Structures are given as structure tokens and as C-alpha cells.
Amino acid sequence: MASMQPMAATRSICIQLHAYPQLLVDGRIVPLQLKRAWALVACLSDAAPKMSRAQAANLLWPDADISVGRTRLRRLVHQINTSCELELVAGDADTIWLARQAVSLAVDLAQTQLAAGGARR
């Protein structure tokens, strides 16, 4: 099992959601095997800065009991962070978010939205 490194300001994360999704950490492709991992990363990269754990669990496992969904969410966040070898998805007891402040984060969805907004003017 890879050990997670503390995030340094020089870490670069690129989230590509168009076409075939890719997650790159410092130029290295990080494979996310689970569709729900991609769904969570996509949701957090496009959503408000933070999302409640209950909301995320309900989105990913709508038929599961809330305690089961929160347990699955905790495992999913651990799997994402372990794959990245850093804390990409951070959180507290009630909320999760992408750790945007500690890394250089680029999301192609945000870039597309900016370009589309400029084209409408």
C-alpha cells in the first residue's frame, strides 16, 4: 500500500472530465477504478466548494441506509486519496471537499465553462 505524502504547494493535479476521464498528479496518470470515485471527484470539482457527507452518500448510494452510505463514502475517499498518494479529497465530520488550497488544481470542466461563458457575450 502506498503511503500518502503530505501535500505541498508544488503538487499539480489535473482533472480531465471530457471524453475519457483522467486524473493526473504531477503529470502521472492516477487510475481510479471505481465509477463512483469518478462521480465523486467530478461532483466535487464542479459543485460548490464543499458538499455534505450525507448529500454525497445519498448521491452515490441512493438506496442505502445513511449510515451504510457514509461508511462507503469514507472508504471511497480513502481509496481515492491512497490512489493519488495525497489528500485530494479532504473533509471533516460533516463535509467533504477537494483540497484546492494546497495544490495547483486544473479542471477541464471549469475551463470549458469559462470559455462557454466568454463565447456567449
Can you give the pTM of this predicted structure?
0.79
Buried b (16+ CB within 10 A) or exposed e, 27-48: eeebebeeebbbbbbebbbeee
Residue 8: the pLDDT is 47
Residue 114: the pLDDT is 72
Residue 18: the pLDDT is 81
Tell me how far apart the 2 most distant CA atoms of the chain are, in Å.
50
Domain parsing of the chain, residue ranges: 33-102
Name the E strands within the chain. 12-16, 22-25, 28-29, 51-52, 89-91, 95-98, 104-107
CATH class of 33-102: mainly alpha
Could you read off the pLDDT tens digit of each residue along the chain, which spans 121 residues? 455 555 445 688 888 888 788 999 999 999 998 899 999 998 898 766 799 999 999 999 999 999 999 999 999 999 999 999 999 999 999 999 998 776 777 878 766 767 777 655 5
Q: How far apart are CA 16 and CA 74, in angstroms?
A: 23
DSSP string, 7-21: P-TT-EEEEE-SSS-
Grid cell for residue 102: 494546497
Grid cell for residue 28: 502521472
Residue 75: the pLDDT is 97
